[in-house]
Amino acid sequence: EQIPLTPNGKIAYAQLPQPQQSALLAQSSYAPPTDALENQLVNIWEAVLDIRPIGIHDNYFEMGGQSLQTIALFAQIEKVLKRNIPLATIFQAPTVAKLAEVMRQNGATETWSSLVPISPSGSKRPFFCVHGGAGHVYHYRALAQHLGSDQPFYGLQPGKEQEHPKDDVKAMAAVYLKEIRKLQPNGPYSVGGFCFGAIIAFEMAQQLTEMGETVALVALIDAIGPGYNGQVIPPAALPTLEELAEASPQAKRPQSLLEKGRRVGANWLRRLHGAKVASQRRLRHIGKARDRLLIQIYEKLERPLPHHLHNYQMLAASRTARKRYEPEVYSGDLAVFRREDVDNAIPADMGWDRLTTQTVKVYEIPGTHLELLQEPYVQELAQQLQLSMREDA
């Protein structure tokens, strides 16, 4: 997901997803800010959520706060208050009052922990879910909620330390295992991840098995297996616009709009599309070069990266890590949760079957890749994940 920006590069608040207004009507009382910090935070929250007034005890999630708004919220806090705060802080401090308290306690420094207690209460075996390519876990909140209050749910994200590995799957898995074993010293373990995070979770399971630990569940959410080299249908094998027009019964009418479009419009459409793609490619290249330079400057100054640069760095590192990773065959079961609209050229197991000597269970979820963690599709994902947890209990 990308934050909508104005032509000047500022956040376009009007284009952000609107919060659920029904949740706002439940507010029973308004508590005003008590000091300058709370007042500044209230102003930022009201601008991002487009809700007024917001009291210092109003819950961010109950007001309909969503993932894009979370990024925008912390970007504005960074810009206005000069404080670089982890996005996951919103789980522990979902009100202005609590967030202000965290900021006062931490002073000018922020703690970036790899282990994020998204929903830590419950008597069941904890589920540890690794971040996706951008390195954040805030989008797991809905999934954690639908798994129920008795299911502990922890997210895993990169630490803030510059020495934290970001482009090495095995090294990242080892770091995350140290974190989860502080909380749960012995198995059986339940691990999983979305997209790139599934690859790290797979490696975590591999390392746990090598340690002699039991892994009850490896949940791979909409991720193609590492090293899978299956090819999707190449563009040359798809029917062209002209071929589709020829196959249409309307193509027999020489003066039909379809025929005119085929003879005249298709060529211009291709030219316009080609020019647009080339222009977008140049802009992306310029943007990436700028971001790489800014990252180098921040690192030389030993300053924390702004959130948008942190996202760019993580996405680039994730791509590198995936290419470098050489997985070994796993000796346990795998659970693959895939969206229904996966390309037909990709096998049902999404390339994971060759990476285990045991069974790959496949669960299909409606929705697109990004929709799997959003309402209403995340409810089905949670149900299927619960089923898998019961089967592996």
CATH label of the domain that carries residue 39: 1.10.1200.10
Task: Say what the pTM is.
Answer: 0.73
Query: Do both 380 and 247 map to the same domain?
Result: no
Q: Which of 315, 337, 360 is the last residue of a domain?
A: 315
Residue 386 has pLDDT above 90, yes or no: yes
Please report the pLDDT score of residue 128 as a whole number: 99
Task: Classify residue 222: in a domain, yes or no.
Answer: yes
Clarify whether residues 142 and 204 are in a common domain: yes
* Peptide bond just before 226 cis, omega within 30 deg: no
Q: Are residues 78 and 42 in the same domain?
A: yes
Q: What is the pLDDT of residues 177-186, one digit of tens each?
A: 999 999 999 9
Whether 8 maps to a domain, the answer reads no
Last residue of a domain, one of 282, 315, 348: 315
pLDDT digits (tens, 9 = 90+) for 96-107: 999 999 999 876
Q: In Å, what is the CA distance from 234 to each residue of 230, 273, 343, 345, 373?
A: 11, 19, 12, 10, 29
Residue 3 belongs to some domain of the structure: no
- The reply to whether 19 and 150 lie within a common domain is no
Calpha distance 99→90 (Å, rounded): 8
- The listed range with the strongest mean pLDDT (12-16, 230-234, 320-324) is 320-324
Tokens of residue 365, six digits: 């979820």
Q: What is the DSSP letter of 151?
A: S
Given a cut of 70, whether residue 204 has pLDDT beyond it is yes
Asked whether residue 1 is assigned to any structural domain, the reply reads: no
**Domain shared by 224 and 123, yes or no:** yes
CATH number at residue 170: 3.40.50.1820
> Do 224 and 137 belong to one domain?
yes
134 and 31 co-located in one domain: no
φ/ψ of residue 254, rounded to 5? -55, -35
Give 115-166 pLDDT, tens digit per residue: 999 999 999 999 999 999 888 898 999 999 999 999 999 999 987 655 567 7
Residues 192 and 188: their CA atoms lie apart, in Å, by 14
pLDDT of residue 233: 38
**56, 89, 106 - which closes a domain:** 106
Give dist(CA 257, CA 267) in Å, integer.
15
Same-domain check for residues 306 and 343: no
Show the CA angle centred on residue 138, arms to residues 135 and 142, nearest 5°.
135
Q: How many domains does the chain have?
A: 3
Residues 212 and 343 in one domain: yes
Q: What gap in Å lies between CA 230 and CA 210, rounded to an integer?
A: 29
Range of the domain at 133: 115-231+322-391
Cα 302 from Cα 247, distance rounded (Å)? 62
